[in-house]
Amino acid sequence: MLMKGIQMDLISEDKLEGMTSMEKVRLILDEVKSGKILVLEKGLTPSEQNKLIELTMVEITPDNFSGIEIESYPVKHGSSFMGKLLGKTTVKTRLTVIGPADQLKTIKKDRDMISALVSTH
Amino acid sequence: MGIIKKMKSKFKKKRARIGIYGPPNAGKTTLANRIIRDWTGDAMGSVSHVPHETRRARRREGVTINANGSSVTLDVIDTPGLATKIDFHDFMALGMNEEDSKRRAKEATEGVIEAVKWLDDLDGVILVMDATEDPYTQVNVTVIGNMEARRLPLLIVANKIDLPDSSPARIHGAFPQHPLVSVSALEGQNIDLLYKEIADHFG
């Protein structure tokens, strides 16, 4: 029996680290526009989130694509010993779920849990 | 003018440019109107129950706020609501015809891009949240992440406390690392407290 459903791709931190910001944003939009749900082991930086929002807005069309649903946890700030000496902090992004706005709906989200509903058209 | 005075004037901090951000219908323009009206006598823009009423950023220069014995002069930018999805059907459900809904949706997407671009040119942000809604939205996470990455001051406004379902405590629990003021921009509740916080954080 042929199984029907929605494809979900889980992308590792290693793969994401080898990509540029634009490559990540392009990958996300292409996959989400084709109806997939993406789970990123390591999320996007704030500037990458800006790029994603901007490009999503550019690609919205009335009858085909109404945007994305994206959920991630707030970033964590850390500081290494050298970082402390230099007054620099590191930003640690966290797990992120992204899907087409008409198929992925967040039910509930708090600091450490995301609950979402995935639907077919 | 003496040398010290000259040096002071040369290095005097420029007027802070503060953006009012938040998701659609959080009450950004209502708040901007109240601030501008209280301190200049004018208004900023129109408000509506239909989301994305503000689709172009508006700037009001030189708004001087006096609170708690200190004075701060700001350029206030009221920005379009940030969103990751805009569906024209949502406007039709609120009574608009298809043509107007599609036009509003198109303008709203442009407004979101404009709001994101403005983040590069600000000295601080007032992030307005609807205190009756879940605060863990991507828009809130993105704006806060941007301000933290740039080490710029951020003041959270928990708006709509005149509504019975409002819960500023839920917002504070979500983002405890940032200062928060609970207000009703519509009714003016706690607005003096907001001005004090603005003077403290952006002065």
Dihedral class, residue B178 (left if φ above 0, else alpha if ψ from -120 to 50, else beta): beta
In this prediction, residue B12 carries a pLDDT of: 47
Q: Contact B148/A77, CB-based, under 8 Å?
A: yes
In this prediction, residue B32 carries a pLDDT of: 95
**B28 is a domain residue:** yes
Task: Say whether residue A108 is in contact with chain B using an 8 A CB cutoff.
Answer: yes
**B12 is a domain residue:** no
- What is the per-residue pLDDT across A30-56, written as a single tens digit (0 to 9) for each? 999 999 999 999 999 999 999 999 999
CATH of domain A8-118: 3.30.110
**B2 is a domain residue:** no
Q: Which of A84-98, A102-116, B107-121 has the highest mean pLDDT?
A: B107-121
**B96 is a domain residue:** yes
Nearest to B124 by CA among B143, B105, B142: B143
**B98 is a domain residue:** yes
Give chain B's domain count. 1
Q: So where are chain A's domains?
A: 8-118
Residues of chain A in contact with residue B144, where contact means CB-CB under 8 angstroms, are 74
**B8 is a domain residue:** no
Residues of chain B with pLDDT under 70: 1-14
Nearest to B19 by CA among B70, B51, B60: B60
**B1 is a domain residue:** no
In this prediction, residue B11 carries a pLDDT of: 45
Nearest to B166 by CA among B145, B155, B180: B180
CATH number at residue B141: 3.40.50.300
- The SS3 call for residue B161 is coil
Q: Mean pLDDT throughout A50-76?
A: 91
Residue among B88, B109, B145 minimizing CB distance to A75: B145
**B10 is a domain residue:** no
In this prediction, residue B10 carries a pLDDT of: 47
Query: Residue B146 is part of which domain span?
Result: 17-202
Task: Say whether residue A54 is in contact with chain B using an 8 A CB cutoff.
Answer: yes
Share of residues in chain A with pLDDT > 90 (%): 57
Task: Say whether residue A86 is in contact with chain B using an 8 A CB cutoff.
Answer: no
Q: How many interchain CB pairs under 8 A, A with B?
A: 87
What are the structure tokens assigned to B200, written together? 């403290």
